[in-house]
Structure 1
Amino acid sequence: MTSQDAIPTSHQKALLTTQEFYLLCESGTFRECAKAELLDGEIYTMNAQHRPHVMAKMDLYDAIRDRLNDTGSTLRAVLEATVELDAGNAPEPDIILTSEPYGEGAIPGSSVALIVEISDTTLIMDMGKKQAIYAQAAVAEYWVVDLEGGKLHQMWSVKDDVYLEKRALPFGAKVTCETVGQLAVTLDIGPAYRT
């Protein structure tokens, strides 16, 4: 080592790109995890999904899919697909509305009209880090279904990397998507889904 070589004075994170993350996924690195996501260059593994989470996700997915079909929308609802937002973010949301469901690789972030996360134990992450990532990627609308709190958090109108418009709706209410025309569903999510 020469006197010109810098000696690190603190620990530094090694952040991954989406391409490096995909290589790890393809090699089977995360096969023992329920799922893995790349958020701000860091890998997050997720817990197994239990019935309240799964059934809330499936019922909301069915309602969204059926409404899209009824209105003749060209958007498709997709479950748990990786969305490549940028070079350091490849989340795997619970429900995605995309104009590009077919093709190779991850769903392009630019094709996403709505992301939905079902939150039973992840509310802080979903309302914090993920909300910031989705806003920075200009995802037009973001919903968080708070199973414990009995409400849906709806966010839209992105400007300067934040959602300017927000509201919370109780389970049983009708939610109208602000960025996808004619998409409105009733939140038929009751006490059976609570964790």
Structure 2
Amino acid sequence: MSATAQSLARVHRLSVADYHRMGETGILGPELRTELIDGEIIEMPPIGHPHAGTVKLLANLLKEAVGSAAVLAVQDPVWLDDHSEPLPDIALLRPRSDYYRSGHPGPDEVLLLIEVADSSLRYDREVKIPRYARAGIPEVWLVDLGGSALSIYREPGASGYAQVSKAADLAAVPLPLAGPVVCDLSALF
């Protein structure tokens, strides 16, 4: 590209509204698994057996632990800002009477996001988790299937999460709910 063309070039970032219109009109077919990150459409790789099974296990363990104290969402969109709407593997959301039928949850409604990573470990850690921190998501768990580890991210800020730790005792992982609620994740690895 010539210097003149470069000086005239503009990058057009899609908004969440643009992204939704593309889905409604069929431009993004239902067979595609995509998410919007910083105005770019990201096609997600197919979900393998270990990833899918881990998401199912976590969803069932979390639902048992939280009961009606939170809404459990599995691979549903979360609105971070006008240009980002990722699909975390699991979200624990503040209870709402409409169960989010009137709109996707935003950062203030999220209690916990969980990403299960095998081939996506670097993308989840370097791309998605920093965006969750900037949006103010209070807690994120990263389940590293290859490394058999659960990393917990807390205290979000503009430059990332101030507190990052590995879960030491999977039999009693505290959940970010009112009151002392723990989840037994000992079957995770």
TM-score (normalizing by structure 1)? 0.84
Quote the residue 1:62 is aligned against.
60
Distance in 2 between residues matched to 1:10 and 1:166, nearest whole Å: 42
Distance in 2 between residues matched to 1:49 and 1:171, nearest whole Å: 28
Higher mean C-alpha displacement, 56-65 vs 161-170: 161-170
Quote the residue 2:130 is aligned against.
132
Asked if the contact 1:36–1:45 (Cα under 8 Å) also holds between the matched residues in 2, the reply is yes
SS at match of 1:84: coil
Task: Count how many residue pairs are aligned between Structure 1 and Structure 2.
Answer: 181
Distance in 1 between residues matched to 2:5 and 2:45, nearest whole Å: 38
Residues 1-195 of structure 1 mapped to structure 2, 5 A cutoff: 8-9=6-7, 11-31=9-29, 33-69=31-67, 73=69, 75-99=70-94, 100=96, 101-169=99-167, 172-177=170-175, 179-181=176-178, 182-187=180-185, 188-190=187-189
Structure with bigger strand share is: 1
Deviation at 1:140, TM superposition (A): 0.5
Higher mean C-alpha displacement, 14-23 vs 33-42: 33-42
The residue type equivalent to 1:125 in the other structure is Y
Deviation at 1:174, TM superposition (A): 3.2
Asked if the contact 1:98–1:112 (Cα under 8 Å) also holds between the matched residues in 2, the reply is yes
SS at match of 1:104: coil
Distance in 2 between residues matched to 1:125 and 1:183, nearest whole Å: 30
Which residues of structure 1 form unaligned runs of 5+?
A: 1-5, 191-195
Higher mean C-alpha displacement, 40-49 vs 164-173: 164-173
Deviation at 1:164, TM superposition (A): 0.8
Distance in 2 between residues matched to 1:170 and 1:55, nearest whole Å: 22
The residue type equivalent to 2:121 in the other structure is L
Asked if the contact 1:144–1:154 (Cα under 8 Å) also holds between the matched residues in 2, the reply is yes
The residue type equivalent to 1:189 in the other structure is L
Distance in 2 between residues matched to 1:118 and 1:32, nearest whole Å: 22
Quote the residue 1:193 is aligned against.
none
SS at match of 1:134: helix
Change (3 A) 1:35 1:140: same
Which residues of structure 2 form unaligned runs of 5+?
A: none
Change (3 A) 1:124 1:170: farther
Asked if the contact 1:141–1:154 (Cα under 8 Å) also holds between the matched residues in 2, the reply is yes
Change (3 A) 1:108 1:172: closer
Deviation at 1:159, TM superposition (A): 3.2
